[in-house]
């Protein structure tokens, strides 16, 4: 079964938290898919990722409504609004609470949700229940002053 980590954002935005998780992904020599809610979020994230240079650069490609990078299979990080895995990534990052139909192709899923909005917390709890019932290995992470703390 897939390992699913729920990342409860209480101190930073998703746009601030995601790059550090992607940096760790690259340091582990893994590929990642970032599932965005819409093209606007995808374009915002791609701009953010292109500007990350420290401690490492985060090369990536994307699939937006009117734009698709060539050779997605070469991309270590792929941003999309579709359920797809063209770069054969082991990690999936869900950044706005979308339900994903099939996570079995991924080793690990990162479900980042905004802890400041009750609706997102409730939706995350519902996703937790569904994934637990399906038999996935679940963990909960919450932001603290020191960083991510396993709950």
Q: Is residue 150 in a domain?
A: no
Classify residue 31: in a domain, yes or no: yes
Does the structure show a pLDDT above 90 at 5? yes
Number of domains into which the chain is organized: 1
52 assigned to some structural domain: yes
Range of the domain at 89: 19-109
Average pLDDT over residues 112-121: 93
**What is the per-residue pLDDT across 14-73, written as a single tens digit (0 to 9) for each?**
999 999 999 999 999 999 999 999 999 999 999 999 998 887 889 999 987 777 788 899
Can you list the alpha helix ranges (DSSP code H) found in 1-150? 14-27, 39-50, 118-133
Quote the crossing angle between the two packed helices 14-27 and 39-50, to the nearest 10°. Answer: 60
Length of the chain: 151
- Structural contact between residues 81 and 37, judged by C-beta atoms closer than 8 angstroms: yes
Banded pLDDT at 97 (limits 50, 70, 90): confident
On whether residue 122 sits in a domain, the answer given is: no
Alpha helices per DSSP H over the chain? 14-27, 39-50, 118-133
Domain contains 63:
yes
Residue 144 lies in a domain: no
């Amino acid at each position: 079964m897939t390992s699913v980590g729920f990342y409860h954002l209480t101190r930073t935005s998703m746009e601030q938290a995601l790059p550090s998780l992607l940096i760790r992904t690259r340091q582990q020599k893994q590929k990642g898919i970032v599932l965005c809610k819409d093209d606007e979020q995808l374009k915002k994230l791609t701009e953010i990722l292109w500007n990350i240079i420290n401690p490492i650069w985060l090369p990536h490609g994307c699939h937006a409504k009117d734009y698709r990078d060539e050779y997605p299979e070469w991309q270590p990080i792929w941003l999309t609004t579709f359920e797809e895995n063209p770069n054969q990534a082991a990690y999936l990052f869900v950044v706005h609470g979308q339900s994903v139909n099939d996570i079995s192709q991924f080793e690990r899923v990162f479900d980042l949700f905004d802890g400041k909005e009750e609706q997102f917390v409730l939706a995350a709890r519902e996703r937790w229940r569904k994934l637990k019932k399906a038999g996935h290995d679940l963990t909960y992470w919450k932001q603290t002053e020191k960083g991510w703390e396993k709950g």
